[in-house]
Amino acid sequence: MLPKEVASSLSTQWPCRDVQIRQLASLLGPHIPSPPTLVVHGISATCKSTILRAVLATVKVPHAIVRSSECITGRHLLTKILWNTLEALSQKEEWENSGKGRCEQVSGLAVLLEECLAARPVDNQGKFVLVLDEIDRQREAPNTLLSALARLGEIIPSLCVVLVLSSTPRPLFLQSAAVPHVSFPPYTRKEAIHIILSLDAPALDGLPDETSSRVYPYFVSTVYDSLAGPTAGSIPDFRSICDRLWPRFVAPVVNGETPPGGNTEWDFSRLLVKNRAIFRHQGESALVHRIVPDETPASAKRAPLAKTAMPSALPSLPYFSTLILTSAYLASHTPQRLDTIFFSKFSSSSLSARNKRAHHRRRLKVLSQAQAEERRAANDDPSTPNKKGKRTKTRITKSTLSSAFATSSATTSAIGGGAGIAGPSTILTARPFPLERLLAIYHAIDPNPPATPLRVAAVADRIYAELATLRRLRLVVPAASHSAMATSSGNTTADAGDKWCVNVSGDWIGELAKGIGVEVGEWLAGGLD
Amino acid sequence: MTHIGSSGLKDILEDVDAGVLTDVLSFVRDTSPQTCDGCIPTALVTVGSNVSSLSRLLSRLNGQLISTEEGSVVVLESGDAPNLKTTLKNIIRAAVTNTDGNDGYQKFLTDRAGPRLLGYDLDLLHDYVQRKGTKKLVLALRDSEAFDPGLLTDLLSLFKSWLDRIPFTVLLGISTSVELFEGRLPRSCVALLQGKHFEVQEAGNCVDRIYETLQTDPDTNLWLGRNVTSTLFENTSDYFQSPEAFSRMVKYAYMSHFFANPLAVLLAKPDSTVIAQNKLCAAVRNLPSFRMFCEDLVEEGSTKQVRDMLEDDEYLIQEMPKYLEANQQRMRNIFQAVRVVHVCLQYTQSAKKANVSDLSVRALSGELSESPIVEEMVATAKTLDSDKLGELLVRLGAIITNPEADTIQEDLRTLLETCSGSGPLRSGYNINSTVTKTTVVQQRIRLSKGQADLSEQAVEYTNIVDRLVALLQVHLTESLINPQDLFLHEAFLFDLRNPLKETFAPRPRFAIERALATPFDYLLSSSDVTMAKVSAKQPATSILYQLYLDSGALVNVHDLWQAFYGVFETEEAGGCDDRVVMSLFYSALSELKAFGVIKNSRKKTDHLAKSAWMGL
């Protein structure tokens, strides 16, 4: 089969990949000697693996495919390669001949593979293609793995190794010259729309076919321009957004509403004007995948009502834990040097103390706003830090409190990066605090302080127990394990001097605290006024 | 308390979970990757603070799936998942041992055609699934929040790529909220999952059910008093506490009654000879409730009986069981009344629901019959229409065994039969049946309220409502007495706050601080004189700790040494050995370090930093 024929037979199923299909078909075709190594690369959802499989199946070359993402270690990968090869050559029964199915080094693999391939019957000694899918994502891979695997094809003449990468390879990354690369670029606008339109519009009851076929192409390109294109959405994303929005988009036609302006029929522009809000609200939410999907589009009309009626349920923590979490949040978000001003009982009543507190609150608010702005500016335009931004920065460093905010390793506590910055939690990062500080702040903010001081002593001990649960829920985490999380997920030891850090966003804690009668803004620097 | 053993508790908890279980089970059965757009089917189960309920749910789910041979549940905890390799190994082992046992797992590893696979190879699981014909393999992460997000992403992406061969369903137990959990995972990980959200009953609800069963059960002989009840419920609302922990506390309370209260022997209905041998009669005569009882008798004029009870052991022994029995019955009546109020409140109260525990606390302190809750309830009950009243009567009939209640129910039924089809009847107290009249008298408008003309049936219905309300009021005032007034309540009412509270809230930090600051609270002092605060007689660590308490956040070690030496110098006038004191100082210092109260300061080389403050 000629590469051209392969391409024409496959492109009905996978359009817009003619060039790549022809390249692969000609490089891997059974009658032409193949290059020892071939690199196929492109970002995810560009149809690399699918096309490769289809081409191999069409040109009828014996091949084995190993998904590297299923291999846990390098050794696992090598064993898998050997196994899948044996299986593809239908020599699985003779596994004892080939190293008892064990393979720990690439050099060993080369020997074993050569034996296997040589053991084939004489009339079947053609080429064999070994596909290593997503090989750049291999876990625990030694540095030399890729270049070593690339050498396999050079050592064994009848073998052709295809490396599928999802990142763009660096030049000469295999340490060998002139390895042919086949690139799968992302689909362009025209291609993406063509692919979506190659399938018909989702059928809807009550929508005439004629209207559907007239409006759908415009709709798809609008969706691409407004949602899929700017977010670099893949084809499946694009299709699911289209499927989800289409019923809402044509809802006026289906419900039999009269078009505005005295016309008798809906056309695309009228529908678009009517449904502008869809692209703004539902469209954006359609981009984000949720584990629990929203209401089905059938109840589209009632959806906003239901949403307002049932706000996202707050988890209910017990009273004591909520208070501890609140104190942890405050400890994380108040500079330690301002503790006496904000939390001391001595300074709680006097006028001058109150003025001082208000002053610091304003200072911190300005500071955090400036920080947020600066960060936003940096996000907008990371390449050219303009002068304005710099000036703000110098102003901050001059401010007396900037030292309190000089954070190096603390992480943002906000849930979604952008929302956290704009949200009411104005101090951007949660800083670690020692446990004793948490206890002290707990006593300061306790809305129902115990009447007898004897009972106070028990509080610290109960706090430890609750803190352990909060830590298990990852609401409060030891600060050290932030950096070395992987090593210490199971262990629960902590020293008295160790630092802790709160791990959730402020809005959430604020609401929880309101439930037990603590106003976070009252204590938080920059929270009120 | 034999009747509420662990089996009874289990029944209650299973009953509470039943709804969620069927939901989750049907979710597991009905979903497949195809119905979830190719994502891993995921059940998110929020358990709130009711942490232990998930494991119950999972074990029952496992049992159901295995019994129908559909599959099984593999439970994974964050402790089992330090890294990917171990996690996979654990999953495979758990899946195989779940159905085949440990030997089965070993056999499974060795008895295979082909080479021995690595323990973490999912090929093993694939093989197992094919052999068993498993249709659903539920992987449950009990505490999903505690998993390392990176590891979770790795694990889920691995499952995703195996999804075409192994029918995974993931079940995530979440203690906070779905949004919070979702927000913490990387987007790429969230994109792998799709499914549904389930909510397990709150712990408070389970606890209420347990408490209600304990106290209102007709076989109960011993009740928990007001103080104990409020302590128990305080714990549930303030701290993370599972229903199991609650029942452990209850058991402890019962135990402390039986072990520490000699009167508990009366509950066992002993022979009169047993009572006579011991000094039980004397003990009973010393009870406050005995004194109160006698005073009441004297007021009634039966002095003879009082004299007999005070002087004649035989008589007392003979009388005691009678009173005990009667008063226990009255306790049962109290809780029956509580249930009546609870049922009525479900029909009358609209906004906030009072639960059994609140009502019980009030009833146990004897305040329920006069409380505003009950008054409001009675007022609202008058305005109920006939449909609701009918339902209420059916519920009440199950609790109250009173001929009057039955006749009321019967009358209502006959009344409704005569006027069926005209909608529910309303009583004369209903707001719709009062009419405001406006009359102009001497150029002033006078508003006067009057009864609208009621139909004959309505009048009759009002009559029935009046009877019911009267019945309720009589019943409640009769049964809702203060249990502290009952003779011998010390025997069947456990109401001591203290052992319970102390036992379940240990105070190690407080104890250590106190021991260090005032060691002679615990140790025997050698001299009789109460000493000045710091003295050389005290252990060295304690001396150093007291000096440490006086210092600021940073302590110069040399200053500390000087002060320490000073303590010994002043006490032992003859001069003391430098070297001995120095060695004491060093051992004390290292002990304090081991306690974690001091550490080396990074700011100044010869200083120590304080890391614990007393009294927090």
Model confidence pLDDT, tens digit, residues A153-202 = 888 888 899 999 988 888 888 888 888 999 998 888 888 888 888 877 77
CATH topology of domain B6-201: Rossmann fold (3.40.50)
A67 chain-B contacts, CB cut-off 8 A: 161
| Chain A stretch 81-140, residues whose beta carbon is closer than 8 A to a beta carbon of chain B | 92, 95, 100-102, 139
User: For chain B, which residues make up each domain, given as ranges?
Assistant: 6-201, 207-492, 508-610
Residues B202-249 pLDDT 10s:
666 778 888 888 888 777 888 888 888 888 888 888 887 778 888 888
Nearest-CA residue of chain A relative to B79?
A490
Mean pLDDT confidence for A428-437: 79
Is there a contact between A72 and B615 if contact means CB atoms under 8 Å apart?
Answer: no
Q: Which residues pair with B43 in a beta bridge?
A: B171, B196
Residues B11-49 pLDDT 10s:
777 777 788 888 888 888 888 877 777 788 888 888 766
Q: Which residues pair with B138 in a beta bridge?
A: B73, B169
Mean pLDDT confidence for A64-83: 87
- H or E stretch covering B433: none
User: What is the percent of chain B with per-residue pLDDT over 90, rounded to a whole number?
Assistant: 2
> How far is residue B545's CA from residue B188's CA, in Å, rounded to a whole number?
53
- Domains plus CATH for chain A? 3-183 (3.40.50.300), 189-303 (no CATH), 319-523 (no CATH)
Q: What is the pLDDT of residue A86?
A: 85
End-to-end CA distance of chain A: 76
Low-confidence winner among A168-172, A273-277, A484-488 (lowest mean pLDDT): A484-488
Q: How confident is the model at residue A428 (pLDDT cuts 50, 70, 90)?
A: low
| Chain A stretch 394-423, residues whose beta carbon is closer than 8 A to a beta carbon of chain B | 415-416
Strand order in the sheet with B71-76: B71-76, B136-141, B168-174, B40-46, B193-199
Instruction: Report the b/e string of A120-143 with b at 16+ CB within 10 A.
Output: beeeeeebbbbbbbbbbbbbebee
Q: What is the pLDDT of residue A376?
A: 63
Statement: residue A322 has pLDDT above 50: yes
Whether the CB-CB separation of A52 and B74 falls below 8 Å is answered with no
Nearest-CA residue of chain B relative to A69?
B158
The tokens describing B121, both together, are 């190879």
| B423 DSSP assignment | -
Mean pLDDT confidence for A284-312: 50
| Chain B stretch 52-81, residues whose beta carbon is closer than 8 A to a beta carbon of chain A | 78-79, 81
Q: How confident is the model at residue B585 (pLDDT cuts 50, 70, 90)?
A: very high
Is there a contact between B616 and A439 if contact means CB atoms under 8 Å apart?
Answer: yes
| Chain A stretch 295-354, residues whose beta carbon is closer than 8 A to a beta carbon of chain B | 312-321
Select from B121, B125, B196, B616 the residue whose CB has the most chain A CBs within 10 Å, as the one to mutate to test that interface. Answer: B616
Closest CA to A47 of A164, A136, A163, A160: A164
Mean pLDDT confidence for A8-24: 85
**For all residues of chain A together, what is the average pLDDT?**
73
Statement: residue A296 has pLDDT above 70: no
CATH: 1.10.3470, 2.30.30, 1.10.3210, 1.10.10. Which one for B508-610? 1.10.10
Residue with tokens 């989702």: A202
Q: Who contacts B294 (Cβ-Cβ below 8 Å, separation ≥6)?
A: B306, B309, B310
Residues B96-143 pLDDT 10s:
888 888 888 888 887 776 677 778 888 888 888 888 888 888 999 888
Q: Which residues pair with B444 in a beta bridge?
A: B441
Q: What is the pLDDT of residue B320?
A: 85
> How far is residue B299's CA from residue B368's CA, in Å, rounded to a whole number?
27
> How far is residue A433's CA from residue B515's CA, in Å, rounded to a whole number?
28
Mean pLDDT confidence for A129-157: 87
Is there a contact between A439 and B178 if contact means CB atoms under 8 Å apart?
Answer: no
Nearest CB among A240, A319, A472 relative to B238 is that of A319
User: What is the percent of chain A with per-residue pLDDT over 70, rounded to a whole number?
Assistant: 72
Whether the CB-CB separation of A116 and A89 falls below 8 Å is answered with yes
Low-confidence winner among A214-223, A465-474, B301-310 (lowest mean pLDDT): A465-474
Q: What is the pLDDT of residue A494?
A: 46
Q: How many CB atoms lie within 10 A of CB A524?
A: 25
* Distances from the Cα of B588 to the Cα of A306, B43, B515, angstroms: 66, 55, 14
Statement: residue B64 has pLDDT above 80: yes
**Whether the predicted interface score ipTM is above 0.90:** no
Q: At what angle do helices B508-517 and B540-550 cross, to 10 degrees?
A: 100
How does DSSP assign B462-495, residue by residue? HHHHHHHHHHHHHHHHHH---GGGSTTHHHHEE-
Is there a contact between A415 and B180 if contact means CB atoms under 8 Å apart?
Answer: yes
Low-confidence winner among A337-341, A404-408, B83-87, B337-341 (lowest mean pLDDT): A404-408
Is there a contact between B179 and A415 if contact means CB atoms under 8 Å apart?
Answer: yes
Is there a contact between A490 and B81 if contact means CB atoms under 8 Å apart?
Answer: yes
Q: What is the pLDDT of residue B411?
A: 81
Mean pLDDT confidence for B54-82: 86
Q: Is A489 on the interface with B (CB under 8 A)?
A: yes
- Name the residue with higher pLDDT: B179 or A152: A152
Statement: residue A398 has pLDDT above 50: no
| Chain B stretch 201-220, residues whose beta carbon is closer than 8 A to a beta carbon of chain A | 202
Q: What is the pLDDT of residue A111?
A: 87
The tokens describing B242, both together, are 């599972």
Q: What is the pLDDT of residue A276?
A: 79
Statement: residue A426 has pLDDT above 50: no
Q: How confident is the model at residue B588 (pLDDT cuts 50, 70, 90)?
A: very high
For residue A330, which amino acid is it? Answer: L
CA A511 to chain centre: 27
Q: How confident is the model at residue B271 (pLDDT cuts 50, 70, 90)?
A: confident
Q: Is A34 on the interface with B (CB under 8 A)?
A: no
CA distance B331 to chain A (A): 32
The sign of the torsion formed by the CA atoms of B479, B484, B490, B493 equals: positive
Q: How confident is the model at residue B470 (pLDDT cuts 50, 70, 90)?
A: confident
User: CB contacts < 8 Å between A and B, how many?
Assistant: 166
Residues B406-416 pLDDT 10s:
788 788 778 77
- Name the residue with higher pLDDT: A35 or B614: A35
Statement: residue B574 has pLDDT above 50: yes
| Chain B stretch 19-38, residues whose beta carbon is closer than 8 A to a beta carbon of chain A | 37
> How far is residue B243's CA from residue B241's CA, in Å, rounded to a whole number?
7
How does DSSP assign B178-245, residue by residue? HHHHHHHS-HHHHTTEEEEEEEPPPHHHHHHHHHHHHHH-TT---EE-HHHHHHHHHHHHHS---HHH
Q: How confident is the model at residue B380 (pLDDT cuts 50, 70, 90)?
A: confident
Q: Is B195 on the interface with A (CB under 8 A)?
A: yes
- H or E stretch covering B611: none
Statement: residue A303 has pLDDT above 60: no
Q: How confident is the model at residue A408 (pLDDT cuts 50, 70, 90)?
A: very low
Nearest CB among A67, A321, A473 relative to B145 is that of A473
Mean pLDDT confidence for B305-329: 86
CA distance A469 to chain B (A): 8
Q: How confident is the model at residue A345 (pLDDT cuts 50, 70, 90)?
A: low
**For all residues of chain B together, what is the average pLDDT?**
81
Whether the CB-CB separation of B236 and B246 falls below 8 Å is answered with yes
Q: How confident is the model at residue B440 (pLDDT cuts 50, 70, 90)?
A: low
Q: What is the pLDDT of residue B575?
A: 65
Mean pLDDT confidence for A398-402: 38
Nearest-CA residue of chain B relative to A99?
B115
- H or E stretch covering B323: helix B313-348
